[in-house]
Chains A and B, each alone.
Chain A
Amino acid sequence: MVRELKFKMVEDGHGIEAHKKMISVLVKEHNTMMQPKSKRGEWADNLDVPRVSSEKFEVLFHAGCRFSYDKVLQNSARSAVTMLKNAGVNIGIMGEREMCCGGRAYSMGYRDELDRLAKSNINACSKAGIRTIVASCADCYHAFKRLYPQFGSQVEVLHTTEFIHRLIKEEKLKFRTGMPITVTYHDPCHLGRQGEPYVPWQGVEKKIKKQIIVYEPRRPRYNGAWGVYDQPREILKAIPGVQLVEMQRIREYSWCCGAGGGVREAYPEYSNWTAVERIEEAKSTGAEAIISACPWCERNFMDAVSGMGDSMKVYDIIDLARKAV
């Protein structure tokens, strides 16, 4: 309902100024970071990984806007690609040809932007013969997994944590290096409660027992519980020496990091307060580090920790996994 309201506000010209600015850059530069598209592939410079223009591959690593341009975080994206490649995955990247997934624009109320970007990305993947998309960003994962099927996308979509978890189960990846650290895991909204797979449905509302509202055929129920929750935790537990301690608000009840939906851009104070709340909760567990699986969460937490003058460490789960391999 809130999303529909956002669509309506944007369509009626009542969008938020900070969002309008971002969208105007997104239209021209295909990213939400207010950066030139020509620099999009720089995160992978000197990384031995094929780019779509030069070689054929079946698994595409989509870095996403935040990893592509955030100099501090992009090492996590490099680690993800390296780990998967070393595990024998035929993986490649789009490089400077990569475009925003459109998920962030959609959550801000700009569904036409999603439409445009989704069609472009689906077309690009189709031309390149991509069968699987891997994303380390929860926002991108949500867009590809939940939104793109509505535009006809049929490629397999995995978050990096799902792929690594699969490789561990298949014994293609082993953690050998111990890391004595107590950590807590933050479920990103778009990987958790919003990360449930899309189930196509077309039907009508009808009433049974005179006034009970049901749907014909049965409508899928998204209750947030079927998102990606266990794989990241199992990865952490598989790393020797890592002790995982849980916060109170986890899984489908996870407290948001405050960065999503355009909140960070439009309401920075509120966004920071939200992140500080989460950091305080993480600290209450006795953890030395808060781990997440989304660069937006990580950036917001890093900024909050810095503002608080706190010593809590913030890591992407890939950072720990890479060190442990």
Chain B
Amino acid sequence: MTFNKDIYRALEDIVGSANISDDPAVLDSYIYSLAHTAIHIGPFYNTFTPQGAAVLMPGNTEEVQAIVKLCNKYKIKYKASSTFWSAQGYPSEDNTIQLDMRRMDRILEIDEKNMFAVIEPGVIAATLQAEAMQVGLNTHIPGSGCSCSVLASATSYLGSGPGNLYGGWYYENLLGVEWVIPTGEIFKTGSLGSGCGWFCGEGPGPSMKGVFRGFLGAKGSMGVFTKCAIKLFAWPGPKSLPVKGIVPAYRTTLPDNFKAYTVAFPSWKAWADAAYSIWDAGIGYLAHRQFNMFGRDLKYAMVKILTDPTKTLGDLEEILEDPEVQKVTEESKRDFQIILVGMTKRDIEWQEKAFDEILNKTGGWKVEAMNDPDVHDWALLYLLRLGHKNLNLVFGGGYDGAFGFLLPADYGASHAEEAGEFKKEWEKRGAMVEAGGDCMMGPIGGQGGGGTCLWENFTCFDSHDKESTEGTLEFFDACTKLSKEKGWVGAGMEKWNSAARGSDGRTTPKEERDRIHRSAPQPSVYRYQRKIKEVFNPNDCGDEYFETLDD
């Protein structure tokens, strides 16, 4: 412990002795390897986020408020995290207090009539989904998976996932919020702030959602969100998902108003045209280019492995030799998965008809091999529940996304092939898994039914292999350079975190942050955020994930 005993005792008085620790063994469990979705340096380099001064598990808003006020009094930094997705949830600097929000894990209310839930930070998507389904509702699930916090995803990050198509991104589903602002006061946003309940995310005056989220969410650096309401969606299925099979080949058989398809197209233009037509027609429940995360050359072979519990990666090479697998792999190069869900029998019939017409118009086709009943039911469960995040790491133990075009379908599609070919050349050098170059995956649609896709080129490597890690780092540098040379807008996912946290796990030096922010397409965003930070966080008790730039 590096701060004095009096402060520790004061914190202990707030949460109780069972919910605070400065035991080095406990604190060591709150550090994180920068291996993925961070700066891409694996454990080989022994590079971790800094150890906090203490970890606290508050049990309610009052405790959070008292902690935050104490931190302001003594100018101590704090970082709140609920489900700790990647290095972003951990301290960026020494002597930071880590708030672990897992004790606040209650679903406070499900308003069936008005279709929203009021939740605490520790509520994960799987739990909310299970409870919502009991009353004929469902929740969006972020791409990070169903074990992630709904509140954290909605208040503090993107919250993008397969459900974007029907339900929008998580932050779009955010309604009333209870926010312990960085100085310790409680701010209630939207209708909640006017005493009118949780139903609306915005109220009179400027968008507080924009203020506290900033660009891409503040990631625990601007106070603590202690409750929020989240919009729910219609679920015309059973009260719980009937899961069958043996891990990893779990599947769910649902009524005929649920259909899971993998569709493919003769060109990227046709692919994008189909995506736009789907939005125009207003069909579809979930849509994601999901299984391409394994790579264009490996995806169907991986589906064969994952739908057969007797198979392992040791069978991969043999499966790839199968002419039938090669045929399906070839026909599903430019693909995505879509789930159609009919609210009524007529609805699903209409959606199927509209979808077939879209395929007809764009020259697309359903990949028949994916319609095998077991594969269909496996894909259905996979996308509805998003409980397979371990597969991100299945090949070599390390992965991260490159490029990350966050743009309309035709923009990403027009660069996908080039970005894929670029990666293919690097794959040949051997640092990363040779998967066909195009490992682009992500959601189809979102943002108010508009058309933003997210194109993340999965790069799988062995983080315990120095050559693999170093080669992958070189590749990511090359991706950034290529994006700049090409003028690709919305790319740079491989460096998303470098503006906030450096390769030593600590806050990026100011000069480097300023350089990055000045070179951004819209640097004014960060100047506005500085002004917001000056007002709401005068003692600078967070870290630099709420990105700022001086005038």
The residue that A211 contacts in the complex, of B315, B316, B462, with Cβ under 8 A, is B462
Contact residues of A between 125 and 184, Cβ < 8 Å to B:
none
Contact of A224 among B247, B298, B313, B316 (CB under 8 A): B247
Query: Contacts A213-B313, A213-B395 known; A223 to B247 CB distance under 8 Å?
Result: yes
- State whether the Cβ of A187 lies closer than 8 Å to any Cβ in chain B: no
- In the bound complex, do residue A209 and residue B314 qualify as a contact, i.e. CB atoms below 8 Å apart? no
Would you call A225 and B247 a contact (CB within 8 A)? yes
List A191-216 residues whose CB lies under 8 Å from chain B: 207-216
A221 at the interface (CB under 8 A from B): yes
Q: B494: CB under 8 A from chain A? A: no
Contact of B316 among A209, A223, A226, A252 (CB under 8 A): A209
Are B434 and A210 neighbours in the complex by a CB distance under 8 Å? yes
Nearest-CB residue, chain A, relative to B472? A211
Instruction: Write the A210-239 contact mask toward B (1 if CB under 8 angstroms, else 0).
Output: 111111111101011110000000000000
A211 touches B247 (CB 8 A): no
Complex-state Cα separation, A222 to B172, whole angstroms:
42
Partner among B298, B316, B427 whose Cβ is within 8 Å of the Cβ of A214:
B316
Chain A contacts with B in 266-287, Cβ cutoff 8 A: none
B435 at the interface (CB under 8 A from A): yes
Q: Which residue of A lies closest to B130 (CB)?
A: A248
Asked whether B434 lies within 8 Å of A209 as measured between CB atoms, the reply is yes
Q: Considering only CB atoms, which chain A residue lies closest to B433 in the complex?
A: A211
Q: Which residue of B lies closest to A208 (CB)?
A: B317
Residues of A within 8 A of B430 (CB): 210-211
Taking a contact as CB atoms under 8 Å apart, the answer to whether A209 and B461 are in contact is: no
Q: Please indicate the chain A residues that have their CB under 8 angstroms from the CB of B414 in the complex.
A: none
Least CB separation from B430: chain A residue: A210
What residues on B are CB-neighbors of A218 within 8 Å?
312, 314-315
Check: B67 CB closer than 8 A to any chain A CB. no
Asked if B108 CB lies within 8 Å of chain A CBs, one says no
Measured CA separation A212–B430 after assembly (Å): 11
Neighbour of A212 across the interface among B248, B309, B313, CB < 8 A:
B313
* Chain A nearest Cβ from B341, distance in angstroms: 25
| CB neighbours of B246 from chain A (8 A) | 223, 225-226
Contact A211 B312 (CB under 8 A): no
Are B314 and A211 interface neighbours, CB within 8 A?
A: no
Q: How far is the CA of A210 from the CA of B435 in the complex (A)?
A: 9
Q: Does B468 contact A (CB under 8 A)?
A: yes
A1–B96 alpha-carbon span in the complex (Å): 30
For this complex, into which size category does the number of interface residues on chain A fall?
10 to 19
Q: Which of A210, A216, A219 contacts B433 (CB 8 A)?
A: A210
**A 243-254 binary contact with B (CB < 8 Å = 1; else 0):** 000000000100
Q: Is the CB of B316 within 8 A of A208?
A: yes
- Contact: A252 with B313, CB < 8 Å? no
Contacts of A216 in B (CB 8 A): 314
A225–B310 alpha-carbon span in the complex (Å)? 11
The bracket for how many chain B residues form the interface is: 20 to 34
Let me know if B396 and A212 touch, CB within 8 A. Answer: yes
Contacts of B435 in A (CB 8 A): 209
- The chain B residue sitting closest to A216, CB to CB, is B314
Bound-state CA distance A214–B248 (Å) is 17
Task: Assess whether A215 is in contact with B314, with CB atoms less than 8 Å apart.
Answer: yes
Q: Which of chain A's residues have a CB closer than 8 A to the CB of B248?
A: 223
Bitwise, B208-221 to A at CB < 8 A (1) or not (0) is 00000000000000
Complex Cα spacing A244 to B241, Å: 21
In the complex, which of the residues A210, A215, A223 contacts B309, with contact meaning CB atoms closer than 8 Å? A223
Q: Nearest A residue to B398 by beta-carbon distance?
A: A211
Q: Do B433 and A209 touch across chains, with their CB atoms under 8 A apart?
A: yes
- A22-46 vs B, CB cutoff 8 Å, 1 = contact: the mask equals 0000000000000000000000000
- Whether, in the assembled complex, B397 has its beta carbon less than 8 Å from a beta carbon of chain A, the answer is yes
Q: Is the CB of A213 within 8 A of B315?
A: no
Which residues of A sit under 8 angstroms from B427, Cβ to Cβ? 210
Tell me the smallest distance from the CB of A192 to a CB of chain B, in Å.
13
Which A-chain residue is minimally distant from B395 (CB atoms)?
Answer: A212
Q: Tell me whether A214 and B314 are in contact (CB under 8 A).
A: yes
Q: What is the CA–CA distance of A209 and B462 in the complex, to the nearest angstrom? A: 12
Please tell me if the beta carbons of A212 and B433 are within 8 angstroms of each other in the complex.
Answer: yes
Bound form: Cα–Cα A210–B430 in Å: 5
Closest beta carbon of chain A to B65's beta carbon, Å = 29
- Contact B432 A210, beta carbon cutoff 8 Å: yes
* 0/1 interface trace, chain A 281-321, chain B, CB 8 Å (1 if under): 00000000000000000000000000000000000000000
**Cβ of B396: which chain A residues have Cβ within 8 Å of it?**
207, 211-213
A211 touches B298 (CB 8 A): no
Most buried by B among A213, A223, A225: A213
Q: Are A211 and B309 in contact (CB under 8 A)?
A: no
A210, A215, A218, A224, most chain B CB atoms within 10 A: A210
Q: Are B316 and A212 in contact (CB under 8 A)?
A: yes
Q: C-beta contact mask, B322-348 vs A, less than 8 Å → 1, else 0?
A: 000000000000000000000000000
A residues less than 8 Å from B433 (CB atoms): 209-212
> Which residues does chain B contribute within 8 Å of A210, judged by CB atoms?
427, 430-434
Complex-state Cα separation, A165 to B317, whole angstroms: 40
Alpha-carbon distance between A44 and B468 when the two chains are bound, in angstroms:
61
Please give, as numbers and ranges, the residues of chain B lying within 8 Å of A207 by CB-CB distance.
396, 462
Q: Which residues of A contact B309 (CB under 8 A)?
A: 223, 225
Q: Which chain A residues lie closer than 8 Å to B468 at the CB level?
A: 211
- A211 to B313, Cβ gap below 8 A? no
* Residues of A contacting B514 in the complex (Cβ-Cβ under 8 angstroms): none
Task: Evaluate contact between B317 and A211: CB separation under 8 angstroms.
Answer: no
**Shortest CB–CB separation between residue B298 and chain A, in angstroms?**
7
B180 interface residue per 8 A CB criterion: no
Q: Whole-angstrom distance from the CB of B302 to the nearest CB of chain A?
A: 10
CA distance A252 to B433 in the complex (A): 31
Q: Out of A211, A217, A226, name the residue touching B395 (CB < 8 Å).
A: A211
CB-nearest residue of chain A to B312: A221
Q: How far is the CA of A223 from the CA of B317 in the complex (A)?
A: 22
Residue B22 is within 8 A (CB to CB) of chain A in the complex:
no
| Given A207-B462, A212-B460, A224-B247; 6 other pairs, CB 8 A cutoff | A209-B433, A211-B433, A211-B434, A211-B461, A225-B309, A226-B246
Binding site for B on A (CB under 8 A): 207-219, 221, 223-226, 252
Counting from the closest, the 3 A-B pairs by CB-CB distance are: A218-B314, A211-B396, A225-B246
**22 A–B contact pairs at CB < 8 A?**
A207-B396, A207-B462, A208-B316, A210-B427, A210-B432, A211-B395, A211-B430, A211-B431, A211-B432, A211-B462, A212-B316, A212-B395, A212-B433, A212-B460, A213-B395, A218-B312, A218-B315, A219-B314, A223-B247, A225-B246, A225-B247, A252-B247
